Amino acid sequence: MGWFSSKKKEPGFNVPANMSPIEAVTHLCAAIQLADGQADFEERESWMGAITELFPEFSEERADRFLNEANQALGQKSGPEKMNYIIDVLNRIKTLLSPEQLQILGPKIAELIEADGIVMTAEMEIAKLVESQLGISISVNEDL
């Protein structure tokens, strides 16, 4: 009888309210990576540097899984849905990260945005959202 069931299939990943700290930061970084339409090697390396500094005891395999899940989650959302999702992720980050970790996050986001050598408007929109939601400063060289 499952053929006509209207029950939606649950996503294979956590919603923002249930995310771990590394998971939430990874989803934020993925949103920035995908803001210009593609994630490249330099951006991935920048994300890995941020994760390493914020969560020194992390599992690379687990982090990679979170990045894949983030790419999948973000790829399924339209523009407005994506921004609402990012806000939900930022609210989770605000709850989970210490003030010290939040201060580390600002420069790491700037490095991520600058990693591919091109600063896109969509990336800056997310950076402004991060600043306003988390109360941190992100200094990006927009002349790249």
Give how far Cα 118 sits from Cα of 4, 33, 113, 124, Å.
48, 11, 8, 11
CB neighbourhood size of 131 (10 A)? 14
Domain boundaries, the chain: 20-134
20-134 has which CATH code? Answer: 1.10.3680
- The pTM of this model reads 0.90
pLDDT at 23: 97
84-95 pLDDT per residue, tens: 999 999 999 999
Taking CA atoms, 45 is separated from 5, 57, 84, 113, in Å, by: 43, 17, 26, 12
Q: What is the pLDDT of residue 4?
A: 53
At residue 62, does pLDDT exceed 60? yes
53, pLDDT greater than 90: yes
Cα-based distances in Å from 16 to 102, 113, 120: 17, 22, 25
